Amino acid sequence: MKSYKLNNQNLAKFKDQVAVPTYDRSQVKTGIVHVGIGGFHRAHQALYTEQLLHNPSVNQWGICGVALLDFDQKIYNTLKEQDGLYTLVVKELDGTFTKRIIGSIVECLFAPEDPSKVIEKMASPDVKIITLTITEGGYNYNEATGEFNFENPQIQSDIENPQAPKTIFGYLTQALKLRKERGLPGITIQSCDNIQGNGHMTQKMLLSYVKVAAPELVSWIESNVSFPNSMVDRITPATAPSDIVDLKETSGIEDAWPVVCEPFKQWVIEDDFATERPAWETVGAQFAKDVVPYEKMKLSLLNAGHSVLGILGSLLGYNTIDEVVHNPNISTFLKGYMDEEVTPTLGTLEGVDLEVYKQSLIERFGNSNIKDQLDRICSESSAKIPIFMLPTVQAQLKDKALVKRAAFVLAAWAVYSIGTDEKGKELVIKDALKSTLHTKAQVAQKNPTAFLDIETVFGTLKESAVFVQAYKEAYENITTHGVEKCVIEINNTL
Ligand code: CS2
């Protein structure tokens, strides 16, 4: 099949192959600045917004995608080259692929190249919402103190050089300063990261920073900026080189960075916007008064479920989530974890059938077309575990209830952090705390609880004698018998 580069000029060539934007992109104004244009944003919010822009009366909600870190240069260059266009490939359960070219990212900025452009854009009167996918670690939260981490050298640099920020907190502060000085209306800052109370977290962290960096701004923010919580969901594995080739060969689209994802998607947003907001509910999102229960359910079942499968599966030598969940011993273990250690902490969730939800997760994890890599799941575990798993452990400990499976997974993480799987193959570990995890994991070989000393991850968990006992037992068992035998034993006895 003849193929063409994906860009504005060639867009019409693809319309017989896949869905393309049929609205006039040149007429779309930027109403949203989004920071963090990775796969998840492009599979989720940018798609909802794409669908919205097909409504002829909507042209004010185009997205300006901001690449914040040096590391993000590649996606910036790609999107710039492609006029912001990219292909979303949904890998259906039956093995077919549904493809669609997305045009909702109408502008792109690379922050390290020119910070002032990003600050000006965030301060533009047309921009009503700044959305974020900056990852769990991006919020600069210290698990040990429960506070903002002022020790971070980048934060110190932002305080000293406010005009050339490096972190999201520096950018937001400068932009809000301009908005206040120019007498502009308030703005909404909406987190789309996997964090319990992600809006509250953004608000708390930003205000902590502003109190030190620009105290005169605090009361303006308190009265003019809103921080809605939201629950976001769509499994989006990393794009594989074969996805790029496949798209070119089957649809004639030369896209340097398409996004692949599962069919399921969900977005529940707290209806708390400072000014106008897009009618995302017309394209499948839900607006709710209180999203906290939905967030809790999703983080502690889906995301924690991923971590369980990722850590155990990596030690067993698997590569993708579907492979692990198709091992019946592991899926029974996961089901036990969900039913006996997570469900009791969730209370009643109005309008949600938890049994159906848990079953649907096992099915989604089992989608063998999307090949969700364990390396992706286990990356940055030091930021994920405290959010996905530890609140559940703490709640269970408080109720004097079961923590055995969670303790087992955390002990397995300590073994994983040594750096090789059970067959001796090296593990690819990507984590901001990689060297600390590794050092503690090595000490843990003689003294297993040394791993729990990492306070920024575990907080005060090691003070629980009940937990420590379960963890130590699990550690000994894993290193003596291997993960699978232990899992079978737990499945048979609990
Ligand atoms: C995953 C998430 O990163 C992870 O550990 O659990 O990226 C997950 O795929 C998404 O949150 C799904 O909505």
Alpha carbon 434 to its chain centroid, in Å, reads 19
pLDDT digits (tens, 9 = 90+) for 272-328: 999 999 999 999 999 999 998 899 999 999 999 999 999 999 999 999 999 999 999
Same domain, 239 and 380: no
The pLDDT of residue 118 is: 98
Per-residue pLDDT tens digits for 60-74: 999 999 999 999 999
379 CB less than 6 Å from ligand 1?
no
**CB of 262 shorter than 6 A to ligand 1:** no
Verify that 317 and 415 share a domain, yes or no: yes
Distance, in Å, from the CA atom of 277 to the CA atom of 273, rounded to the nearest integer, reads 7
Beta strand 62-67 with 105-110 is parallel
Mode of pairing for the β-strands spanning 230-233 and 253-254: unpaired
Q: What is the per-residue pLDDT for 494?
A: 83
Question: Ligand 1 mean position to 377 CA, how many Å?
Answer: 7
Domain C-terminal end among 288, 304, 336? 288
Give the three-state DSSP class for 189: strand
Selection from 490, 494, 298, 300 nearest residue 390 by Cα? 300
Q: Best mutation site among 45, 230, 302, 314 for ligand 1, i.e. most ligand atoms within 8 A of its Cβ?
A: 302
Shared domain check, 336 and 229: no
- Clarify whether residues 238 and 105 are in a common domain: yes
Distances (CA, A) of 404 to 177, 301, 366, 467, 473: 49, 16, 25, 8, 10
360 and 212 belong to one structural domain: no
Residues 405 and 471 in one domain: yes
State pTM to two decimals: 0.96
Could you say which of 238, 266, 288 is where a domain stops? 288
pLDDT for position 142: 87
**Residue 474 confidence (pLDDT):** 98
Mutate which of 194, 364, 378 to test ligand 1's pocket (most atoms within 8 Å of Cβ)?
194
Q: Residue 235 Cα, ligand 1 centroid: separation in angstroms?
A: 6
Where are the extended beta strands (E) located within 48-186? 62-67, 86-91, 97-102, 105-110, 129-132, 141-142, 147-148
* 92 and 194 assigned to the same domain: yes
Please check whether residues 255 and 318 belong to one and the same domain. Answer: no
Domain's final residue, options 230, 265, 288: 288
252 and 322 housed in the same domain: no
Ligand 1 neighbourhood includes 371 CB (under 6 angstroms): no
Q: Ligand 1: does its nearest atom lie under 6 Å from the Cβ of 298? A: no
CATH number at residue 19: 3.40.50.720
CATH number assigned to the domain comprising residue 387: 1.10.1040.10
Q: Are residues 226 and 362 in the same domain?
A: no
pLDDT recorded at residue 468: 98
Same domain, 179 and 280: yes
384 lines ligand 1 (CB under 6 A): yes
Extract the residue ranges of the chain whose pLDDT is less than 50: none
Closest Cα to atom 13 of ligand 1: 233
How many structural domains comprise the chain?
2
pLDDT at 10: 98
Amino acid at 325: V
Ligand 1 atom at minimal distance to the Cα of residue 234: 13
If asked whether residues 280 and 256 sit together in one domain, one would say yes
158 lines ligand 1 (CB under 6 A): no
Amino acid at 443: V
Residue 280 lies in domain: 4-288
